[in-house]
Amino acid sequence: MFSAGASIPKSAFASKDVFSGENSRKQRITRHIRQLLATLIDAFPDLTNEVTYITADEGGNVAAEVVISGTQAKPYGTIANQGLHFDLPHVFLFRVGKNGLIEEVTGYWDNADFYRQFGRLEVD
């Protein structure tokens, strides 16, 4: 599937059609995540993700340690553009369907560390 040192390609994710027929809450969450990612990529155009560790089981459950990095080029939320770079470890838990595409993902990261790297001591 993926190996350490690789990036997770967009093609690995199931299309939005995976959620058709399910409740509108899941569809709203999917739209929110897409908007969040678009905003993040806009503010950090050199955004990268490096898979540093990955493991999976036969049931389609995958855990990945990923370092997301980027240099700010525009304001992001309440963080003014200072041209600073960030490196932030994440853990992602995926469920991969029988078609080999990611159907669910849960992510964990230290938001306080993200803000600290931009000189912010409070989390809004």
- pTM for the model stands at 0.71
Domain boundary assignment for the chain? 10-116
Beta bridge partners of 68: 49, 88
Which residues does 18 contact at the CB level (< 8 Å), separation at least 6? 97, 101, 103
For β-strands 48-56 and 85-96, DSSP reports them as: unpaired
- CATH says 10-116 is which class? alpha beta
Give the tens place of pLDDT for each residue, 12-55: 544 444 444 455 666 666 777 788 888 999 999 999 999 999 99
Residue 116 to residue 121: CA distance in whole angstroms: 6
The C-alpha torsion from 68 through 72 and 74 to 76, rounded to 10°, is 50
Residue-level pLDDT at 27:
67
What pLDDT does residue 113 have? 94
**Pair of tokens at residue 38:** 């678009």
pLDDT digits (tens, 9 = 90+) for 56-93: 999 999 999 999 999 999 999 889 999 999 999 999 99
Provide the pLDDT for residue 71: 97
